[in-house]
Amino acid sequence: MKNGIKIILLFLVVLVACKKAKDFAPPKYTLSGGVFILNEGNFRGGNGSLSFYSYDSSKISNDLFSSVNGRPLGDVPYSMTINEDIGYIVVNNSGKIEMIDPNTLVSRSTIKGLVSPRNIAIINSSKAYVSSLYSDSITIINLANSSISGYINLRRTSEAIVVLDNKVYVSNWTGGKEVIVINSLIDKVVDSIEVGNEPESMVLDKNRTLWVLCNGGWTRENFAKLVQVNTSTDKVQTEYTFPTKLASPTCLKIDAFGQTLYYLENGVKVMDINLGRLPPTALIADPGASFYKMAINPANGDIIVTDAVDYSQRGYVILYKSDGTLISKEQAGIIPGNMCFKLRIN
């Protein structure tokens, strides 16, 4: 039984980008491998690209998709996840998902016809959900034949997706204030949870509590909130309100142990799930930088932040140790954004 649990754990950590969290024991991975970086490029410029930072060489390689496949990746590659031997790259403004071999980067297939796709979550071996910035539905992907198999009508747009057993939590980010609950066995909405204005990102902790970061909206008319949701009752458990309407926190992440939260707000803020208050100061300050996205290495706790500079020229990927010590700063593509780890089993 114990050996079986360890095998399941290893499988789950590989899917960290899918945010599927069921076991938060220490991951058993080496640092061999690295992290993919999605460079969004200029909106409508069609110059999005794929970079990879290698932990083997401590170097970054850029423009990988186009170099391997002889064509551009597309307009605003936004998110990526790896499921078994396929990497799924969601290309927002191109309305597609590029499927690649994560080792060779060779394109396997392209799923087209999506409306402003944002994030993809693997539901099971044959099904995935994709959120949308403009559509009022979740798109269902048939993983067996790489096609669109249906839709789930939310009557609102969608952003972050978190999978817990047979429930799927979806945030209504743009202009919204709810987290929608879907039963993935029947592909139906079964509940909604009112949180704060514009729930932007979500994670699960080791206690199976859902944390929702609500950035308050771009007009700054509302206070941002960090909300805890009890997933047994699907009710709000605790709310932490940011002290000023000028606060605009983004990009909530959690470590592989499900114990420590991270988010961006004038730098990198770090919060233990049992702290009981918002952290007053940043672990990593960002003077002179434009921190855009963040990822936490599940193997060693490294904090990786992207700096979009002026959102028009090439940006940077900055690596820090878990204590905030700078490791390196590497130049990536234009507007380096979300990341996806590719780690090897020990």
List, as own/partner pairs, every contact residues 239-243 make where C-beta atoms lie below 8 angstroms and the sequence separation is at least 24, other chains included: 239/196, 240/277, 240/278, 242/216, 242/278, 243/278
Q: What is the pLDDT of residue 21?
A: 40
DSSP 22: S
- Confidence (pLDDT) at 343: 77
What would the DSSP string read from start to end of 279-333? -SS-SB--TT--EEEEEE-TTT--EEEEE-TTSSSEEEEEEE-TTS-EEEEEEEE
Per-residue pLDDT of the chain (346 residues; tens, 9 = 90+): 434 434 333 334 434 344 444 444 544 444 468 999 999 999 988 999 999 999 989 999 999 999 999 999 999 999 999 998 899 999 999 999 999 999 999 999 999 999 999 999 999 999 999 999 999 999 999 999 999 999 999 999 999 999 999 999 999 998 899 999 999 999 999 999 999 999 999 999 999 999 999 999 988 889 999 999 999 999 999 999 999 999 999 999 999 999 999 999 999 999 999 999 999 999 999 888 899 999 999 999 999 999 999 999 999 999 999 999 999 999 999 999 999 999 765 5
CA angle 133, 102, 105 (to 5 degrees): 90
274-307 pLDDT per residue, tens: 999 999 999 999 888 899 999 999 999 999 999 9
All structural domains of the chain, each given as residue ranges with its CATH number in brackets, are: 2-345 (2.130.10.10)
